[in-house]
Chain A
Amino acid sequence: KQEVTQIPAALSVPEGENLVLNCSFTDSAIYNLQWFRQDPGKGLTSLLLIQSSQREQTSGRLNASLDKSSGRSTLYIAASQPGDSATYLCALTQGGSEKLVFGKGMKLTVNP
């Protein structure tokens, strides 16, 4: 059974720091991996999607990488801002199923 882990569960940093958020998974036979952002009481906003054949994707200050052999993905946030404060979730799909399997998320607080 696929398990997705995000450690730490929470992180508090001062504004301007470059951040690395970690996501690990137990079964490397994945199809896509997606990073989401969730603000309190709201739905999920898709940030980046990496296909299994890709190594990384970039959007603005965000860069996501994927290493299937080690069962890891990282989300890099450059020059963090207070507006980046949210919970970040990673999720993946596997062949034969359309469902996303989520980690529990990491709550990020960026202090001004």
Chain B
Amino acid sequence: DTGVSQDPRHKITKRGQNVTFRCDPISEHNRLYWYRQTLGQGPEFLTYFQNEAQLEKSRLLSDRFSAERPKGSFSTLEIQRTEQGDSAMYLCASSSTSGGVTEAFFGQGTRLTVV
């Protein structure tokens, strides 16, 4: 498979627990993005990596959120001390630039429910 892969697809957790999501980008893509989407809304940008460097972070990414891409391949997004407001779909995307064009490709997402 050559698409963006996210794991798990669904996660139910109790408030206050920590959760970690994984994203495997398309293999030749050097850029990786995390977005969050709530019901009825478009995705909102959280953070972006080029290779292993985290180059851009949204103010939405509070200190309870941390993302890593240690070897410039897969990435993890961790949420500490989850709150009910963290319930959302977490989407990962990857891209590379070809001919001056950067096109983002998304994974299937991780649906988080905090109870």
Chain A residues at the B interface, C-beta cutoff of 8 Å: 4, 32, 34, 36, 41-46, 49, 51, 89, 91, 93, 97-105
Residues of A near B108 (CB, < 8 A) are 42-43
Residues of A near B50 (CB, < 8 A) are 98
A70 to B4, CA, bound (A): 34
B81 to chain A, nearest CB (A): 26
A-B pair count, CB < 8 Å, reads 63
Instruction: Name, among A43, A91, A93, A102, the residue most crowded by chain B CB atoms within 10 Å (CB to CB).
Output: A43
Residues of B near A104 (CB, < 8 A) are 40-42
B3 to chain A, nearest CB (A): 9
Chain B residues at the A interface, C-beta cutoff of 8 Å: 4, 6, 31, 33, 35, 40-45, 48, 50, 55-56, 58, 91, 93, 100-109, 111
Residues of B near A46 (CB, < 8 A) are 103-106
A41 to B101, CA, bound (A): 28
Instruction: Write 26 A-B pairs (CB below 8 A) sorted by A numbering.
Output: A32-B102, A32-B103, A36-B106, A43-B91, A43-B106, A43-B107, A44-B43, A44-B93, A44-B106, A46-B103, A46-B106, A49-B101, A51-B101, A91-B43, A93-B102, A97-B56, A98-B48, A98-B102, A99-B45, A99-B48, A99-B58, A100-B33, A100-B45, A102-B42, A103-B42, A104-B42
B88 to chain A, nearest CB (A): 13
Residues of A near B42 (CB, < 8 A) are 4, 89, 91, 102-105
